[in-house]
Amino acid sequence: MRLVYPWLCELVHVPGAPEEVAHEISLRGFEVASIEPGPLPVIDFEITANRPDCLSHVGLAREASAIWQLPLQMPDMAVPATGPAESLDVRLEAPDLCPRYCAQVFEIAVRPSPQWLADRLTAAGVRPISNIVDVTNYVMLEIGQPMHAFDLERLAARALVIRRARAGERIRTLDGVDRALEPDMLVIADGERASAIGGVMGSHDSEIGSATRLIALESAYFHPPSTRRTSKQLGLKTEASIRFERGGDIAAPPLGIARAAALFAKIGAGTPRGPLMDRFPAPRPLVQVRLRASRISRLLGQDVPEGDVVRILTALGFDVAAGSGEDGPSWQVTVPSFRVDVTREADLIEEVGRHYAFDRLPSTFPALAAPQAAPSPQIALDRLIRQVLTAAGFSESATFAFLERDASAPFCEPGVEAAAIANPLSEKFAVLRPSLLPGLVDACAHNRRRERKDIRLFEAGSRFTRDGEGRAVAFVWSGAAEGPHWSAPSRNVDFFDAKGIVEGICDAVGIEAEFVPARDGFLVPGRAAELQARGIPLRLGVVGKLVPAIAEARGFPAAEDVFVAEIDLHALTNASADIDRLVDPLPRYPSIVRDISMLVDDTLPAATVRGTIRSSAPSTLVAIAEFDRYQGKGVPDGRVSLSLRLTFRAPDRTLTDDEVHVATGRIVGALRTAHAAEQR
């Protein structure tokens, strides 16, 4: 909100320079964006969405009035004498979308605005157009009520019909764009067609020009959600829509026309022709809130003198009546219609605290009645996993929890759609993410488009599935498997690199990882695995190569591989809690190592081979490790030579060669029986 300083001084005779005034107002919760010197100094305030009443000079002047305890001089709203009436038919057919609609006919003479008015508009960031349009903009900036003027002679049947748009209806707005309307949009129509989009913008067909003699001046209150929805759907944001969608003052429409009439008379622009037409079928009672002195003291941490409470609220436009109760002094406060953000006692206490000055409140810590609860185990787990992934060379990313529908579809469970957002900011944020991977893949593609070839990103956060909200950790990896070094050629990341990272996470939390083939649609078959904890048949996550078509659709080069993984942190926590962590003493007796090479099917997972070995081996087998995999000359097609190193050790004695030989033979026999393996 660009506050023109002389304009403010006209409403409240504030003391001091613009910088001093800006500082004092900023202490009451209004951020100062900039201060511009000049003949008409301007203070640019950032107004939060809950304070639409301060999107005007009067609104900020009211704050200044409370700060310096000075009277607020409201603008002249005396309506001049009314001339002979001109016919105008006003019909309110959609009171749910437009609870109040006012209109009045004026006879006008279109010409340039006087210099003082044009200068104030220019300083406020509005381009002067003509005296009539400039007055409507001036009133909007002064009291916060947007208005629109129609050329009465260009309205069919001299009618203003406030209704919903018809199916297939179109309108050419003042910016010259032809727009299609939806049936849930509010329009201001004449007897034949739409002449304005309610609360957003007028039409080109009813625009006033230099030859316009009669206008119908509109001033209304439009339903905030409807205005916001229409503005978003049409991609059309205006100064009027910004004010209406935040919640205007339902009492302001007649005041806006009265102020415009007074300005028309002041600058010789026009006179009223006929009375004000006010369509207000369901007047609303003002909100009343009981305010207790004891509650003020409890929330602010300090007593506020009763006189200051009344003074502050009265200066801000509240009607305060004294009362009493069992809990001490209280007040019955009537909330003015322009304060749409005040609905409860805590809101009134905030107003008192703002103007009593928060810096006067003591800095105290609340008394502790009980010791602080122990932190959730999930916090420690998240921290540990972040350390593991960061140590592995990954950078943490933070992506949006909202996604476009197409990006989420490949990562949804079969037959389940992503949870839709009822009123999304745009189609790019239409659904809640079912997985962390879509956002990470987009971040990966973003980096790749900027010539970053080696990418390692991870994220820990919430995802939303049919089971509700849950936490997960995911990573994406593309490019080189390790940093370049002169001693060896670089190689690209493969499935086993990504799998190793998952194993590292499991090792850190005390889980022995097992992998079985995965069938997730976003992963390449044969290069995808489902993570389980040994002995616990529960899916903890997946790891594998992302389907190239999915990566390419998000802007990643099709020729480059992207490996991904995602782990359910809740399931990981449960699996970790179910495992007894035992510490084995250092071995006292030596181990014996035997290497075996077996021919097996090349589609047989190594985890299956290890499982068969464990099930057939004695308890003295303490470790299994694959150290070679060979396909080529001497190995039949469809087979692979898998070399494994078996480590045997007993806790109470030194094993003999015969014992190890028997155990090795039993293992080889089990592999022959279970997998038709052949020993090389």
Q: How confident is the model at residue 228 (pLDDT cuts 50, 70, 90)?
A: very high
pLDDT at position 326 over 80: no
Give the phi and the psi of residue 563 in degrees, each rounded to 5: -105, 140
Where does the chain hold its CATH 3.30.56.10 domain(s)? 2-68, 288-358
- pLDDT tens by residue, 137-159: 999 999 999 999 999 999 999 99
| Eight-state DSSP code of residue 173 | B
24 Cβ neighbours under 8 A, 6+ residues apart: 16, 64, 67, 68
Helices 306-315, 345-356: crossing angle, 10 deg rounding? 100
Residue 184 reports pLDDT greater than 70: yes
For residue 12, the model assigns a pLDDT of 96
Q: Is 244 left (phi over 0), alpha (psi -120 to 50) or beta?
A: alpha
Which of 653, 657, 648 is closest to 591 using CA atoms? 648
Window from 101-115, 355-369, 376-390, 665-679 with minimum mean pLDDT: 355-369
Please say whether the structural domain 89-279 has been given the CATH code 3.50.40.10.
Answer: yes
* 85 confidence band (pLDDT: 50, 70, 90): very high
- The pair of structure tokens assigned to 230 is 């229409």
Q: What is the pLDDT of residue 580?
A: 61
**pLDDT score, position 485:** 80
Question: With 70 as the cut, is the pLDDT of residue 626 above it?
Answer: yes
Write down the pLDDT at residue 579: 59
Percent of the chain clearing pLDDT 70 (strictly above): 99
Question: What integer best gives the mean pLDDT of the chain?
Answer: 92
Extended beta strands in 583-636, E state: 592-601, 621-630
In the structure, what pLDDT confidence band is assigned to residue 582 with cuts at 50, 70 and 90? low
Query: Where does CATH 3.30.930.10 sit in the chain?
Result: 377-577
Residue holding tokens 């048949």?
537
Does residue 63 have a pLDDT over 90?
yes
Confidence of residue 680 (pLDDT cuts 50, 70, 90): confident
Using a CB cutoff of 8 Å and minimum separation of 24, what contacts does 112-118 make? Answer: 113/267, 114/267, 117/263, 117/267
For the stretch 357-413, pLDDT in tens is 777 777 777 677 888 888 888 888 899 999 999 999 999 999 999 998 888 889 998
pLDDT, residue 516, reads 87
Residues 512-542 have pLDDT tens digits of 888 888 889 999 998 899 999 887 878 899 9
Q: Residue 112: phi, psi to the nearest 5? A: -65, 150
Interacting residues of 484 by C-beta distance below 8 A, sequence separation 6+:
490
CA–CA separation, 538 vs 558, rounded Å?
33
Q: For the structural domain made of 377-577, what CATH number should be given?
A: 3.30.930.10
pLDDT bracket for residue 463 (50, 70, 90): very high
Q: Indicate the angle between helix axes 239-246 and 131-143, nearest 10 degrees.
A: 30
pTM as predicted: 0.64
> What string of H, E and C letters represents the secondary structure of 219-252?
EEECCHHHHHHHHHHHCCCCHHHHHHHHCCCCCH
* pLDDT band (50, 70, 90) for residue 451: confident
Contact (CB, 8 A) for 536 and 519: no
Rounded CA separation 215/105 (Å): 6
The SS3 call for residue 558 is coil
**Fold observed for domain 2-68:** Phenylalanyl-tRNA Synthetase; Chain B, domain 1 (3.30.56)
For 236, the token pair is 């059309």
Over residues 437-447, the pLDDT tens digits come to 999 999 999 99
Architecture of the domain defined by 592-679: 2-Layer Sandwich (3.30)
CB atoms closer than 10 angstroms to residue 500? 13
Write the CB contacts of 188 (distance below 8 Å, at least 6 apart in sequence). 148, 160, 161, 162, 194, 195, 196, 197, 198, 202, 218
pLDDT at 573: 85
| Mean pLDDT, residues 231-260 taken together | 95
**Rg of the chain in Å (alpha carbons):** 37
* Location of each CATH 3.30.70.380 domain in the chain: 592-679
176: alpha, beta or left? (left if phi > 0; alpha if psi -120 to 50):
left
pLDDT tens digits for range 10-29: 999 999 899 999 999 999 99
Q: How far apart are CA 201 and CA 222, in angstroms?
A: 13
Question: Of the given ranges (117-126, 248-257, 533-542), which has the lowest mean pLDDT?
Answer: 533-542
Please tell me the predicted confidence (pLDDT) of residue 73.
96
pLDDT, position 577: 67
Query: Is the per-residue pLDDT at 315 higher than 70?
Result: yes
Q: Which CATH number fits domain 288-358: 3.40.1190.20, 3.30.56.10, 3.40.50.300, 2.60.40.10?
A: 3.30.56.10
Of 169-173, 472-476, 479-483, 491-495, which gets the smallest average pLDDT? 479-483
652-662: average pLDDT: 93
pLDDT (0 to 100) of residue 427: 82
Give the DSSP letter string of 477-491. Answer: EESBSS--BTTB---
Nearest alpha-carbon partner for 316 in 298, 290, 284, 342: 342
Q: Of residues 359 and 498, which shows the higher confidence score?
A: 498
